[in-house]
Structure 1
Amino acid sequence: MTTTTTTTGPRVVDLALGDPGHPAPAAVRVALRRAAERTSFGYAPASGFGALRESLAEKLTRSNRIAARPGEVVVTTGASQGIYATLAALCAPGDRVLVPAPGYPAYRAACRTLGLVVVDYPVGRGQDAAPDWARLEALAGDARVLLWNYPSNPTGTIADPAWYPRLYALLDAHPGLTAVSDEVYEELCFDAPHVSPAAAAGPVADRIVSVFSFSKAYAMTGMRVGYLHARAELAARISRAHWGVGMSTPAVSQLCALAVLHGAGDYPEEHRGVLRAGRDLLAGALSAAGLSVELPSAGCFLWLDVAGSGLDGLSWTRAASEHCRVLVAPGRDFGPDCGDRVRISFAAPTVQLTAAAERFSRWAAAGWPGEGRPGPGAAPSPAPSAAVAVQP
């Protein structure tokens, strides 16, 4: 193997996963210390602790404009398991699920595990950010679920509320279709606020399941606390499906989530500032290196077009590992027609982002050497294998 960079900073920089490098709120540490004084923990209720569900219903009503009651809220082991349980409650093997492309890889993994048929629908960004409505309308007739993901992973696009009437009309025209709205990045919006589609859905509100998480907004990925809102009857079915997969969300994690709701109100704004700085640092280096960089409006990823390097996304991913010791995720894992893209997290600590930016710059200066295309002055060096991101 060859390398064109020096190894300043961490030996390996992992930017493949969306794992926040910012410390969690102080309220989490306080809650953990208090939990450590308890002598025992039993199973939590299937749908989550009552106090947490009450607080989440208040949050959904206040912040998301979703008129929620505690009986309509289910606490899940991360948003991913919430989506999985929702699909299990709504679908039977062979049912068709409309999945955004590009989109979070775990959507497809969940569908495969449940024996469901993935039907991709294109979503864009920038001037072409809206989903392909013509494609959706053509496919909706025999689909059971529409997976809707805004703010988007991986593109960082925020939904324009002007799109929602078309979404509502689609649901109204197809009574067998339910929209599952993944809103994990709701607190990580840089350019415009997130608006939940269920907020103004009117008659079709009962056919929108809204999914959220503490992972990204509060740097609590390892705590595995997600939650969702659905009509009461469907929420009960989702809760049973969730119980069948993982019983209940860990009690300690729920206590931390409750502490955050009541004691970390200013944290997301601070977290956004850190992420924005990381975004701009990494984007600036890659742009200066000659790649076309579109700044995401939300989330914690650059959805990078690497065609300017002369490499495709998979080759770029492997070469970044080999030449820079930086792990990124190849675009092909997020859907068809993404072969020239890679996804790069800017949620890592500043020291790691700085090291990655310096290594990318040196790699570019050497002419983007890749597989079968060594750069000048290359020397043998061990390097890790490229990682594939499956993080929400």
Structure 2
Amino acid sequence: MNIAEEMSDVIPLQIGEPAVQTPDHIKQAAIKAIENGFTHYTANAGTASVREAISRRMKRDYNVNVPINRILVSAGAVSALNLALLSIAEIGEEVLLPDPAYPNYESLIRMQGAIPVFYQTNAENDFLPDVSDIEKRITPFTKAIIINSPSNPTGAVFTEEKWQQILQLAKEHELYIISDELYDELIYEGKHVSPLSVDPSMKDQIISIFGFSKVYAMTGWRLAYAIVPEKLWYVMCKLQEPVTTCAPSISQKAGEAALDGPKDFVKEMLDMYKENRDIACELLKQYQVDFITPKGAFYIPIDISYTGMSAKEFAIELLMTQKVSVAPCDTFGPSGKSLIRICFAGDMEQLKEGLKRLGEFYQKKANT
């Protein structure tokens, strides 16, 4: 991104940023909050009214009853992840995370002196993990398992059966599950399954994190929320004070409008993303690029191992010669050294042109 910013006419396929704008009714709620002087601190956990809206949403969408003293509103999903890890993992303890995975998982774990341990996900199995492989990596120091569904960068979507296996494993080994569900409404095949609805009896071991950035095109509003065990709620509220104090008050009012307002926008955006995904996959097939069709989120992982280049080498040369910016996945985990990631949430025409250039570049490198 830093290199691309110094160049002109670059086609950006690297960042997970929706091309659409935040819906008007959400913007208007924020404007009204400003006009009414709602511009001050809130409680660490967020306002009661936004937490009540979240509680209604969890009942409406997942048939899960969540009292507001288990809901923590945060300044983005990364902040919620940070607070969750700070509340459960001590220095030297281990947290399991998928390979490949959103890079901030590893960064957050390392920042607090805990140890990241990767478990494998395989393209042959739609990037879903083998639970027996996860179990092999559990030690007396293991504290939690991070699950991301739909996944960044793979687009993998966990089935209810897979969740049952994961939850049984967590129960047997007394581990926390940190479930990153940021893309929960962006699914093209199947449906989103939240672990809270699979086994409500495990509510004291599940931390589910949701957000507004991707589903409501609110990346700059910095707003997310975590559904947490009651015993951790007070701890995470206390930790939020020195980290960010609270989520932005104006954003919280916008979040209420998003949760309680019309959902036409989400359906329209999902239809657009699905069209983009299908076109992108068809183009990649034409250039004989090796990839797995994502079932959720808005990324496609591309295997560039046939080129003999590392992910970073491929991404930099593609940028410098073709003016197309992609994300090299070598920071997404050990398996990412031969993967790049594209985002298909942007402008359709740019996506087509970018993939044309990428495909031609790939073929040239793969055949040399």
Q: Secondary structure at the match of 1:233?
A: helix
Structure 2 match to 1:4: none
Structure 1 match to 2:183: 185
> Structure 2: how far apart are the matches of 1:48 and 1:368?
51
Structure 1 match to 2:172: 173
Runs of 5+ unmatched residues, structure 1? 1-9, 374-392
Structure 1 match to 2:257: 259
Q: Does 1:150 align with 2:149?
A: yes
Runs of 5+ unmatched residues, structure 2? 1-7
Q: Secondary structure at the match of 1:98?
A: strand
Which digits, 9 at most, give the CA deviation of each residue in 1:29-55, with x for residues without a partner? 212332342346211110011100001
Structure 1 match to 2:300: 302
Q: Secondary structure at the match of 2:273?
A: helix
Q: CA deviation at 1:128?
A: 5.2
Q: Does 1:45 align with 2:65?
A: no
Which digits, 9 at most, give the CA deviation of each residue in 1:313-369, with x for residues without a partner? 22221122112211111121110022221011111122421331343345357x249
Tell me which of 226, 232, 235 is aligned to 2:233: 235
Are the equivalent residues in 1 in contact too, given 2:70–2:229 (CA < 8 A)?
yes
> Structure 1: how far apart are the matches of 2:360 and 2:99?
32
Q: CA deviation at 1:111?
A: 0.7
Tell me which of 322, 329, 332 is aligned to 2:330: 332
Q: Secondary structure at the match of 2:272?
A: helix
1:9-48 superposed matches below 5 A: 11-39=9-37, 41-48=39-46
Q: CA deviation at 1:180?
A: 0.5
Q: Secondary structure at the match of 2:335?
A: coil
Q: CA deviation at 1:140?
A: 2.6
Task: Sort the Cα spacing of 1:24 and 1:126 in 2 relative to 1 into closer, same or farther, 3 A.
Answer: farther
Q: Secondary structure at the match of 1:199?
A: helix
> Structure 1: how far apart are the matches of 2:359 and 2:227?
45
Which digits, 9 at most, give the CA deviation of each residue in 1:212-233, with x for residues without a partner? 0101011101111110101222
Q: Give the AA of the match of 2:326.
A: V
Q: CA deviation at 1:298?
A: 0.3
1:53-72 superposed matches below 5 A: 53-72=51-70
Q: CA deviation at 1:144?
A: 0.7
> Structure 2: how far apart are the matches of 1:139 and 1:180?
17
Q: CA deviation at 1:310?
A: 4.6
> Structure 2: how far apart are the matches of 1:138 and 1:154?
24
Structure 1 match to 2:347: 349
Which structure has the larger Rg over C-alpha atoms? 1
Structure 2 match to 1:106: 104
More helix by share: 2
CA RMSD of aligned residues (A): 2.0
> Structure 1: how far apart are the matches of 2:164 and 2:356?
45
Larger RCO (CA under 8 A, 6+ residues apart): 1
Are the equivalent residues in 2 in contact too, given 1:15–1:346 (CA < 8 A)?
yes
Q: Secondary structure at the match of 1:146?
A: strand
> Structure 2: how far apart are the matches of 1:169 and 1:53?
29
> Structure 2: how far apart are the matches of 1:218 and 1:193?
18
> Structure 2: how far apart are the matches of 1:139 and 1:358?
41
Are the equivalent residues in 2 in contact too, given 1:96–1:116 (CA < 8 A)?
yes
> Structure 2: how far apart are the matches of 1:150 and 1:80?
15
Q: CA deviation at 1:285?
A: 2.2
> Structure 2: how far apart are the matches of 1:15 and 1:95?
36
Q: Secondary structure at the match of 1:212?
A: strand
Q: Secondary structure at the match of 2:28?
A: helix
Q: Secondary structure at the match of 1:97?
A: strand
Tell me which of 74, 79, 84 is aligned to 2:77: 79
Which digits, 9 at most, give the CA deviation of each residue in 1:284-319, with x for residues without a partner? 222212212321000010111123445332222112
Q: CA deviation at 1:202?
A: 4.2
Q: TM-score, normalised by structure 1?
A: 0.87
Q: CA deviation at 1:97?
A: 0.6
Are the equivalent residues in 2 in contact too, given 1:281–1:353 (CA < 8 A)?
no
Q: Secondary structure at the match of 2:291?
A: coil
Structure 1 match to 2:310: 312
> Structure 1: how far apart are the matches of 2:139 and 2:125?
28
Q: Secondary structure at the match of 1:180?
A: strand
Q: CA deviation at 1:132?
A: 2.6
Greater shift in the superposed pair: 131-140 or 215-224: 131-140
Q: Give the AA of the match of 1:242.
A: Q
Q: Give the AA of the match of 2:147.
A: W
Structure 1 match to 2:212: 214
Q: Secondary structure at the match of 1:253?
A: helix
Greater shift in the superposed pair: 345-354 or 293-302: 345-354
Task: Sort the Cα spacing of 1:56 and 1:279 in 2 relative to 1 into closer, same or farther, 3 A.
Answer: same
Q: CA deviation at 1:195?
A: 0.8
> Structure 2: how far apart are the matches of 1:230 and 1:364?
44
Q: Give the AA of the match of 1:320.
A: L
